[in-house]
């Protein structure tokens, strides 16, 4: 389908919304992003781009810049805080790797790509609902509406008010902070390192590269916490927290001392992906999980690529949405189930589940067949989500640039 002249309204300027907007605008669509913030800006700390998300960014011609700013991750390594026994050891196959990156770094690259493609922005525009119709509109908090569009996309994340369905808020959240990278050798520059005490306490250190060219390298430090304990954590004060980190993971105490932590809560839901006729959800607005599998940003990139590819190859918007859902639903449903099953092994008050984790998962990662399966699960590649999309359709001329084709091999 020729997208030139199509009018598309996207609610939310996150990773999914920006990547979709840039892709569609490159195909000639007139795209406007509506966001409640006074200026587009990222929310959140660092994360790992898995091969799935990297494949989408490669198709967009952004992978080289992402690699320049991010840190290459070759291993995810978790130990018990007391005995230092390894209970999680996952690497990448065939020399592959993840790319750990600050959210602000990827956001800036996607924002630049969207602006360069001609995407329009309506900031300070809080979207509250959709006005349905063959050409739907976004309803805004000031009582106004957006222009009628051929397609409306909800990319507002787990808190989206469109087609709202209650979520299951998980008992555990986390304190996240971006801190200066420790180059002393205490932490490996190519690993996500974690420490556990049962499933009630987890901390991690992730090198995340630089926010922009010439900036100092940084790390993400995270500390799990029950949401109901946040008030007590604030009352105890910063020094008490630093001391708790020191007792739990002495080598990480100086990262806590440098941190300005932000509390993140997590939800689990799978909402209906269709909000109305010619209206669709992507990313956490559709499917939200705990961060245990680290798939959130990668899933948003896959959703954006899938929807754009479907619109490019199908004769109508309705046919494109149907194809998009066929391409994405199986992968999403499987990882939603996997997240629901695995999260209590890593963040819960259970004593039995972490014991079985420590007995089974650590040794299993040393067995070649199981190690390959676990790697495929963790990297998000199970069920071949990239192959289902057809990334060649992301390019307006139907073919990826040669440099990006090489990067995908």
Nearest in space to 61 (alpha carbons), one of 126, 112, 2: 112
Strand arrangement of the beta sheet that strand 98-102 belongs to: 46-49, 98-102, 71-73
> Per this entry, what is the length of the chain?
409
Tens of pLDDT along the chain (409 residues) come to: 899 999 999 999 999 999 999 999 999 999 999 999 998 888 778 999 999 999 999 999 999 999 999 999 999 999 999 999 998 888 898 778 999 999 999 999 999 999 999 999 999 999 999 999 999 999 999 999 999 999 999 999 999 999 877 778 999 999 999 999 999 999 999 999 999 999 999 999 999 999 998 999 999 999 999 999 999 999 999 999 999 999 999 999 999 999 999 999 999 999 999 989 999 999 999 999 999 888 999 999 999 999 999 999 999 999 999 999 999 999 999 999 999 999 999 999 999 999 998 888 777 777 887 888 888 998 999 999 999 999 999 998 754 443 444 333 3
Task: Answer for the pair 180, 218: CB distance below 8 angstroms, yes or no.
Answer: yes
Q: How far apart are CA 67 and CA 178, in angstroms?
A: 19
* Tokens read off for 128: 């509250």
Nearest in space to 244 (alpha carbons), one of 142, 331, 175: 175
Nearest in space to 303 (alpha carbons), one of 275, 277, 279, 284: 284
Residue 9 main-chain phi, psi, to 5 deg: -110, 130
List, in order of start, the domains of the chain with CATH numbers: 7-168+267-408 (3.50.50.60)
What SS3 string covers 285-308? HCEECCHHHCCHHHHHHHHHHHHH
318 burial via Cβ count (<10 Å: 0-12, 13-18, 19+): exposed
Beta pairing, strands 191-197 & 201-209 = antiparallel
Task: Answer for the pair 73, 375: CB distance below 8 angstroms, yes or no.
Answer: no
**Taking the model in full, what pTM does it have?**
0.94
């Amino acid at each position: 389908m020729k997208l030139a002249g199509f009018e598309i309204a996207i609610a939310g300027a996150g990773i999914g919304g920006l990547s979709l907007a840039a892709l569609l605008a490159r195909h000639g669509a007139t795209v406007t992003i509506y966001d409640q913030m006074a200026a587009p800006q990222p929310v959140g700390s660092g994360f790992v781009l898995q091969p799935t998300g990297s494949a989408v960014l490669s198709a967009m011609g952004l992978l080289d810049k992402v690699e320049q700013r991010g840190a290459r991750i070759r291993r995810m390594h978790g130990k018990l805080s007391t005995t230092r026994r390894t209970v999680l050891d996952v690497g990448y196959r065939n020399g592959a790797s993840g790319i750990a990156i600050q959210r602000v770094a990827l956001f800036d690259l996607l924002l630049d790509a969207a602006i360069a493609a001609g995407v329009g922005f309506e900031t300070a525009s809080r979207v509250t609902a959709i006005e349905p119709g063959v050409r739907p509109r976004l309803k805004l908090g000031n009582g106004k509406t957006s222009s009628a569009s051929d397609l409306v996309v909800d990319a507002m994340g787990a808190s989206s008010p469109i087609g709202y369905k209650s979520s299951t808020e998980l008992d555990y959240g986390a304190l996240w902070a971006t801190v200066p990278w420790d180059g002393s050798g205490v932490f490996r520059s190519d690993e996500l390192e974690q420490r556990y005490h049962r499933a009630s306490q987890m901390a991690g250190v992730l090198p995340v590269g630089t926010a922009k060219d010439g900036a100092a390298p940084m790390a993400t430090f995270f500390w799990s916490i029950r949401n109901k304990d946040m008030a007590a954590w604030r009352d105890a004060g910063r020094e008490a927290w630093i001391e708790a980190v020191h007792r739990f993971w002495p080598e990480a105490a100086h990262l806590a001392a440098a941190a300005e932590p932000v509390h993140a809560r997590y939800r689990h839901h799978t909402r209906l992906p269709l909000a109305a006729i010619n209206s669709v959800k992507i990313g956490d607005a559709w499917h939200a999980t705990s961060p245990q599998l680290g798939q959130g940003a990668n899933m948003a990139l896959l959703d954006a690529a899938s929807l754009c590819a479907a619109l490019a190859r199908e004769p109508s918007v309705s046919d494109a949405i149907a194809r998009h859902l066929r391409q994405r639903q199986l992968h999403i449903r499987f990882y939603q189930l996997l997240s629901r099953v695995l999260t209590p092994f890593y963040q819960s008050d259970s004593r039995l589940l972490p014991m079985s984790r420590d007995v089974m998962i650590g040794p299993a990662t040393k067995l070649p067949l199981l190690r390959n399966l676990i790697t495929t699960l963790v990297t998000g590649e199970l069920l071949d989500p990239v192959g289902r999309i057809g990334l060649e359709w992301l390019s307006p001329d139907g073919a990826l640039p040669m440099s990006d084709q090489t990067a995908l091999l």
